[in-house]
Amino acid sequence: MSGVPLRLVIFDCDGVLIDSEPVSQGLVRDEAARMGWLMTSAEIHDVTGRTWSSLKPIFEAHTGHVLPQDWPKMMQDRVVAVMRNGVNAMPGAREVLEATAALGLPYRIASNSSHEEMAEKFGLTGLLPLVEGRMHSARDVAFGKPAPDLFLAAAAAGGVRPEECLVIEDSVPGMTAAKAAGMRVVAYAPMGLPPRFPVQPDLVVRSLLELPAIFASVMPVAA
């Protein structure tokens, strides 16, 4: 990977650092079924990574139900409650965060999850000390992913230009947001990307442990 020297890494949370997507997807599927919408695997995949606020009109359109205004908050609270039963870090998550810090490379977390949800997930997995003070939520900006707002906010907080950032993402909304922000993006895809994937990442990795060498290869050359 070439281009402008790398000055900030922005990690997604769910599906990249925290193995929480099965829980979120299960809640999406169960809530849809409660309203009579039996979602296919493709439909679940298409909405993975979206905010609950952006899912509200999608659910209403598919089911004909008018959901209460506080439905997104209700669903966020359900996620947090379920997470308290246990959640795991993704393989290599701790190692990649520690290796990034050892390189002297700043990093931040940008997630459509709420701060409460991220604190619960990172706390349960023991990663909270590595991410405290670095987390950005979709609730902090006007629009979550797939809009670029969240990544632009993370870049601004890091004092860098968008082109100096590298985003690590696993979802279509996340990669779409990173590209819209003018950032390079690495797709974390342990099983590889499916055919006809709608976003073209700059690179694909199957393991988080591949990332430190990639970061080092595009960091500024020491004086």
In angstroms, the CA 215 to CA 217 distance is 5
Q: Verify that 112 and 214 share a domain, yes or no.
A: yes
- Boundaries of domain holding 71: 21-83
pLDDT of residue 53: 83
Number of domains in the chain: 2
Domain CATH code at residue 135: 3.40.50.1000
Q: Verify that 212 and 133 share a domain, yes or no.
A: yes
Q: Verify that 27 and 113 share a domain, yes or no.
A: no
Q: What residues of the chain score a pLDDT lower than 50?
A: 223
pLDDT of residue 196: 83
Say if 114 falls within a structural domain: yes
pLDDT of residue 223: 44
pLDDT of residue 96: 98
Say if 94 falls within a structural domain: yes
Q: Verify that 14 and 34 share a domain, yes or no.
A: no
Q: Verify that 119 and 197 share a domain, yes or no.
A: yes
Q: Verify that 78 and 145 share a domain, yes or no.
A: no
pLDDT of residue 194: 83
Q: In what order do the strands lie in the sheet with 203-205?
A: 135-137, 107-111, 8-11, 165-169, 184-188, 203-205
Q: What are phi and psi of 20, to 5 degrees?
A: -110, -10
End position of a domain, from candidates 30, 62, 83: 83
Say if 139 falls within a structural domain: yes
* H/E run at residue 96: helix 93-102
Q: Verify that 127 and 45 share a domain, yes or no.
A: no
Q: Verify that 54 and 132 share a domain, yes or no.
A: no
Q: Verify that 194 and 111 share a domain, yes or no.
A: yes
Say if 3 falls within a structural domain: no
